[in-house]
Structure formats: C-alpha cells, structure tokens
Structure 1
C-alpha cells in the first residue's frame, strides 16, 4: 500500500479478543489413544502480515488461525473438472454427499477448536454439501486448494415453504443458507480455500430442474417482477465474535455474507467474486444471446446479470470490521442495513478493494438507525458498468431512519458511473419512516474518471408533505480529475433539480466541482466554508488487478 495512504493505529477490542482466545497457541503433537480415537491436531499460528486496523472502539489485529483441529482433518473425495463438479451431481440424489460428515464433525468438535477440510490423498480438492450449521466456539477451516461446493438441488435448502429454487409472487423466504451461524459466540470460517455457491449451474429438482440456474431465477425478479427464492451463502444471526479470515466466497445464488444482530465481527483478507470464470468469459465478454437478457438457461453471466449477489451485508450489527478484502459482485459490494432493532453502529471498512458492484452502500433499510461508520483507504474500479456506484447512502420513506456520523477518508476511484450518491428517494415506496442523513464527511477523495462514460453525483435531502430532513455533508479535498461530474436529476417523487435540501460544508481542502453547487433558498441548499488548495489523494499505487488476487477472476 502506498505510504501516503491512511495510517494504522493499534489498540485492543474486548469482544474480538474473546474470539481470538479460541485460537490459543499450543503445540501438541498428533497422536491416538489406545482406543484409536483421533485426538486434536495442533498447528503453529502464523505471524500476522497486515498492520492492525484502527476502529472507533480500539484496534483490531489480523486473526490467528485456529491452533487446534478436532480429530483428523476431513479429506476431499471429489475431483472438479475445470473448476466445476456439475458432472458429478446431475442426479439430485447425489447433491450433498459430504453434508453429513462435515456436520457430524462440527457437532462433535469442542469449543476453541476447528474442523479442517483438506485435499485428499490423491489430490482430490472438492467437497459437495447442502446446508451446514456452525456452533459456538467452532471454526470451519477450509484449507488452501480446497473448494466447498454448494448443492444445486433446491430441495436441500427448502425451509418447509416448498418454493426454494423458484420465483414467486410471495415475498416469504423459502431457502435456508448454505452455512448458518445462529446465536454463536466465537465461531468462524477461515482458511485459504473457496466456498462456491454455483449460482450459474442448472438446478436439479423442482419446476426449474434442467431449465434455470439460481441466477436465471434471480433475473426473473427484474424481468417479471417476481421474488427470487435463492439461498444465501453465509448467514450469521445474533451471537458475537464471529471471524471470517482469508476465505474466498464465489458465485452465491443470493447474498454472499449476511450479518443480522451480531456484536463483534472481524472479516479480514476475504475475497468475494460473482461470477467467476466458471460461469463467464475473460473480461466478461459473453457472446451475444448467451446471457439472461435473451436466453434461458443462460450459458454466460456478467456482474450486471447476477442479480442480488451482495458481497458483505452487516445488518443491525455493531463492532464490525471488514479489512484488507477484495469484492466484485452483481450488487452492493457492501450494504450496511438496519431494518429492525438494534441499530447498526461502530462499523469500520479499511484497506479494501472493490471492483464491479453497486458500491460501498448504506441502506436501503435504515429504519432502526446507522451511526459511527468509518470507511478508510478504499479503492474502487467499476470497470465502466452502467450500474456502478461508489459511495452511496440510499433509503426512502417506507424504510428510512437516521444515518449519522459517517466518515469516508482516503478513497481512490475510477470507471464508476455514479461515484457519490446520497439519495433518500431510492424507490417509489411510501410511508412515515423518513430518511435523515447527517454528519456525513468525505475527506480525501479522488476520482480518476473514465475514458468511456461520464459520471454524475447525487445530493438530496428528504422533503415531502411538510417533512424536511436536510442532507448534512462535508466535502474536503474531493477531487475529480478531468471532466467534472454532472449533477443528477431527482426521481421517485423527490425534488427534480439537485442538489436539494442539502447543507454543504466545503473545505478546507479543494472541491473540484464546487462551482456547480449553487445556494438556493427555495430548495434549501446552503454552503458554508471555503475550499482551498491541497494535494489530491495519491492514487498511483492504489489499483490492483483482481486476477492477481484471485486467479479465477475474469478481470
């Protein structure tokens, strides 16, 4: 990382130290008892390679790998062909051969230890599983070279509603996630292996068997106004001290990682990608007629056709860190949500790289409130997707609430259609839950532009039916190279001319498009402060090809 980028501080965090205590550094040797029962295997813990991350509640360090594996590691028995195991489970009866043994190992594992999945004796690298449930204190360790493939049989995920794997008029969710951690303390998923949700593989049971993949079903959500019934990859509900470390998550049928009411989460060095080369072409150059736009089942997907594949979504959660991670998806790279109590607060996103996707987002559900969000040292390369977003806060009066104290620092961006979006009219839905965005600070932002498309920015507060909630935002050293961004127009019943109902504070650093911000008494646009001169953020070493991190990336 360029030495001029954001600095790192070092202090402790009690909730996550508790989790780390599960990874004590012991050094026993593998042996068996007289009954030949396997004993725990211990491993030396590597020294952390990345600096600690400063947060609002202290510093968080890179997690250590588990010191102890309960029993013998589980060995892979399947050999993928070209990164796929579709030839092995065309018969739905063969859809989850490894579920029982992985779950049994988790259930039998003592707290503070890990279940480890490893390569087989003859180089086998694949596991194939349906839904798994983690328990407190137990870590699932997917070793380097190993892929945990998700079943593509909807019957394996169905929660009893009976519609998993279809698109329905009902909004009732009908699929369990692949991996669930519910009410756990100190559990996690680690290792340099891969979890592959197989979103582009044809389903093997139900009305869409052999006709649609999970992503084809998801596309019906857009084209037919239906609700996709697809499983999430990892769901963490309630509980505390959850760890994601080094793991790669790919091709989820729906959201990749969802947190719901969790206190204390460290996601460090994770990689999220949809779609991978397994389901597309290099640089997403899909031939005409092969994508969901015109062909079902589709044979090639792009980030713009894998709907609702959010990367990392913390909801109603606190003390959450996402650090040193890489995300490229077909929807929000990150979406901080607060659809119910408790509020989402104390969230830090540091030293991350985003690629395709709908941005570093807050919302659209902000009902119970979002506060104390820090985004620092973020690099975004949108690859000129027409749907690309950068920094975004989105909501509407059907699901709005208070979003406050959000700070973005040291951001480098290029090829992003909408680099800055602050929008309380995200949809046409109406209600009495009014969005309010206050205490928003952007300090140190640089957009290098695009050779193929222009960009636009959205600044709007909420003002309808006598309810006025101005956007309060500070812009300090916010610089667009070359052509300056256009100001977006309003939509969904909001003010037509933007900015509107926005109180700007500019400076002391430069704001390259300051001349386009005009005060207005009628639209309640005010400007305080004065932009000055300063060197823009140094982005010379910021951008990293995703393929250098994930070999199966198309970009």
Structure 2
C-alpha cells in the first residue's frame, strides 16, 4: 500500500515538473539565482575580545588534557557577550569541545588541537545524528547545539588522530585494522536502524559506550550563522564537517584530509543557505555530500538541504566529488557547483546522486558548471536510484544541468543513470561538455526530457538518443 501511495506522489511530482523547471529555464537564470543566494550568506561577526586558552590552564604538549581549560575559556567568552577563544601556536590535547553562541574558536598559525582517542573523553552522550538518524551518542569532537554566531577560524590544525589503531577499526573492516575481539559497529548500526523504523523517540535511542558508533568530527546541530574558515582538519573518526538543521553557513579556505572509512569531507544535512568555497578535499569517502535524514527520520523531520553553493574547490581522492545522498529522505534542492577541479585515479565520480526507494525524497535543481576533471574511475555523472535495498518510498530526481564539463581521462562511463520506470530521471541537460577516454559513452535507463547540446564523448558528438534508448 505504501509503495502505491508513493508511486502516486511520484506521479504527481511528474505533473509538476514543467512548473518547477520553468522557474530557472535558462543557464543565465540559474547563475543569477546563485549570485543572489551568495549575497545573503553572510559570515558571523564577533566582539573584539580574546580569551587565550593558556590563561585558563591549558597544557602545552600531547600528554595532559586541556578539555576543562578550553571549556572555561568558552564559557567566559560566551558570558562576556562573545569574542575569540584563542589557541596559541603549540600543540594541545583535548576531548570534546562544545561551542556556545557568539564564540569563535580561533587557531593561530602553528596551533594544533590534538583530539584524544579515548572514547570516554566524548561523554556524556549528546543529541546528535549518525548516518541520518537521531540518537544519543558520543559527542562529536567539536559540537554546538542550538547556538547562534559560532565559528572555527584561523590557520592552525585540528587533528582527530583517528587511525587503524583506534576509531577506524570500529567500522569492522580488516582493511582498517579490525581484529577479532575488537569493538565493531555493525550490530549497533543495525539496532539504530531498527529503532528508526520502529519510530522509537530519538532521545530514547541511547548509544555511546558499548555500541561503537564513531563520532563525527565537527557538528553544529540546529545552529544559525556559522563560519568554518582557513584551518586544516585531518584524521577524522568518520564524517568530518557535519552541520545539521542549520542555516547561513560559510565553509571557506579549508584543507580537509582523512582517508579512513566513512570519512566524508563535508556533509551539510537538512541545512539551508550554505557556501563551500576555496576548499581542498582528500577523503576516504565522498568529498562533499548533501543529506537530509535517513528513511523514517528523514521523512518525519522533513527538512531538505537547500540553497547550496560549492565553488572553486579541489577534490582528490573520494567516492564522489559533489554528491547528493544517500541519506536524502527529506530531499535536496537548489545546488550550485562551479569552477571546481577534480583529479585522482582514486576518485570514483565527479557528480553523484545516490538514493533508493527505501529513502524516497525529491532531489531537484542541481547545477554543475565549469568543472575540470583529470581522471576518475566510474562515471563523470552518476545517478543511482538503487543505492540500497528497495522500499516503499519512490524517489524523484529532476532538473539537472551539467555545463562546461571537461574531462581529460575518463573512467568506465561518461554518464551512468539507473532509475525506476515509474520515476524516471527528468529534465536532464548537458551543454558544452567534453569527456575523453571513457570505456563506454553512456549507460542509462528511464530518463525523460533529455537535452544534450554540443556534448562530445571520445571525440564524437553525442545526441540525446544515447540516454533515451538508442545508442545504449
């Protein structure tokens, strides 16, 4: 019955496609809308006050925790009306850091915040999301909940110290150091998903000690006016930057390196008005992935990720450069990615959309322009509605524009699309694209309203029929 209902919803969505696509009917309209969006994403400003953590008893070096000293500096800064909590040039060991409104955690050049690898240093548990599901779990390494005007800035470094000897092994893979008798997240992950499907209230989903669900590195939950600028962040337990249900976010000038399991570089989830600019990604999973909750939780909360700009970023290793999904049940819309460079034999895809009928959700208005790719493994453009096991919630993917994409040395496919016959990928357009050296031009099923203009793959101009049936 549920599947029938969601098929009807997908059908209604199809009838509305023309209305939706008309609102940005040309490339000029698209990029004018992007420029307007960028003007309203404004970085928070902070009072001209400094609270240096060594003045509150922070210990230099790798041996003694400075967690309490950093918390004292944050509290006093917050109570004074805001300012900068300054980490001076040196190395400081810490557990979880919880930011408060009007506080800018500022890392001086040469400063290193080294995060403990002891799980007990991320207790008590906090209300968080783990792979798109709400629960009580270990605190993210840097966390804020329901705060305004918060930032991490400066040219220092955040080092999560994750490796095969600690957090990464929890994923349960021998590739990342797991051995018999070590903690393993598999059963906890299944238990959390079961609680999600049973609609158990999120605050009653209590995990933490004994469950081995790795914390995210940086998470802002229900926050407004966020800035993450200029620093380097390495060796994350899993997802690296993870704002959730937050608005007005600037992520700029970061260097992000973490090649462990599930080390997504940046995962805005159910967020609005986001700018990701001038960043470097070298990751063990997707470089940037937009999300909006998994299965029941995503539908229950029902908040899409929307109004997002990715500009002038460099992507190296990763499962995808710019990605939407797979925890996308709340939907995603209005994504503008432009002037990016991607290049690594360990990069699988440039633009990737992944969902399933267990997820559902509407993904629409995705614009990808002026992207240069050296090499990749699988496909330059990939849409997959069969990412996980099927369910009763038909996904919708529509209104995709890929413009001025240049690929020097492609992988298996130029374009790879898998969709449901009752919910084809709709309004798919490629303009002025050149893709070289792929094994197969395209493989696609169930696409509708396709338009290819001046698209060359392997030296030959490709027509729309390649995606709509002929030439597959």
Report the TM-score when normalising by structure 1.
0.65
Task: Say yes or no: does 1:460 pair with 2:422.
Answer: no
The correspondence for 2:71, drawn from 99, 103, 114, is 103
**Separation in 2 of the partners of 1:240 and 1:504?**
38
Output the aligned Cα RMSD: 3.3
Q: CA deviation at 1:426?
A: 0.9
For the residue of structure 2 that corresponds to 1:215, the secondary structure is helix
For the residue of structure 2 that corresponds to 1:484, the secondary structure is coil
Summarize the Cα distance change of 1:145–1:68 in structure 2 as closer, same or farther, 3 Å threshold.
same
For the residue of structure 2 that corresponds to 1:425, the secondary structure is coil
Summarize the Cα distance change of 1:517–1:215 in structure 2 as closer, same or farther, 3 Å threshold.
farther
Structure of higher RCO (CA pairs closer than 8 Å, 6+ residues apart): 2
The correspondence for 1:117, drawn from 87, 94, 107, is 87
Summarize the Cα distance change of 1:518–1:444 in structure 2 as closer, same or farther, 3 Å threshold.
closer
Q: How does 1:106-505 map to 2 (within 5 A)?
A: 106-109=74-77, 110-119=80-89, 125-159=90-124, 174-200=137-163, 212-220=165-173, 226=186, 227=189, 228-274=212-258, 303=259, 306-339=260-293, 340=298, 341-359=302-320, 360-382=322-344, 384-385=345-346, 388-418=348-378, 419-427=380-388, 429-449=389-409, 454-455=412-413, 457-463=415-421, 467-481=422-436, 483-486=437-440, 498-503=443-448, 505=450
**Separation in 2 of the partners of 1:455 and 1:507?**
16
**Separation in 2 of the partners of 1:349 and 1:410?**
12
Residues 172 and 185 of structure 2 are in contact (CA less than 8 Å); yes or no, is this contact kept in structure 1? no
Listed as ranges, the gaps of 5+ residues in structure 1 are: 1-5, 12-52, 80-84, 89-93, 120-124, 162-169, 202-211, 275-302, 489-497, 528-555
For the residue of structure 2 that corresponds to 1:156, the secondary structure is helix
Which structure carries more helix by proportion?
A: 2
Residues 306 and 334 of structure 2 are in contact (CA less than 8 Å); yes or no, is this contact kept in structure 1? yes
Residues 456 and 487 of structure 1 are in contact (CA less than 8 Å); yes or no, is this contact kept in structure 2? yes
Q: CA deviation at 1:70?
A: 3.2
**Separation in 1 of the partners of 2:377 and 2:36?**
31
State the partner residue of 1:57: 37
For the residue of structure 2 that corresponds to 1:315, the secondary structure is coil
For the residue of structure 1 that corresponds to 2:173, the secondary structure is helix
Q: CA deviation at 1:381?
A: 1.1
Aligned length: 393
Which structure carries more strand by proportion?
A: 2
Q: Which has the larger radius of gyration?
A: 1
1:214-267 deviation line (CA, Å, top 9, x unaligned): 112224398888245212110011121111010211100111110110011001
Residues 449 and 455 of structure 1 are in contact (CA less than 8 Å); yes or no, is this contact kept in structure 2? no
For the residue of structure 2 that corresponds to 1:510, the secondary structure is strand
Summarize the Cα distance change of 1:518–1:55 in structure 2 as closer, same or farther, 3 Å threshold.
closer
For the residue of structure 2 that corresponds to 1:358, the secondary structure is coil
1:93-126 deviation line (CA, Å, top 9, x unaligned): x5xx10000011101113341101102xxxxx11
Summarize the Cα distance change of 1:171–1:373 in structure 2 as closer, same or farther, 3 Å threshold.
closer
**Separation in 2 of the partners of 1:395 and 1:370?**
11
Q: CA deviation at 1:364?
A: 0.6
Listed as ranges, the gaps of 5+ residues in structure 2 are: 1-26, 127-132, 179-183, 190-211
Report the TM-score when normalising by structure 2.
0.75
1:107-156 deviation line (CA, Å, top 9, x unaligned): 1113341101102xxxxx11111111111111100111011011110111
State the partner residue of 1:508: 453
Q: CA deviation at 1:344?
A: 1.3
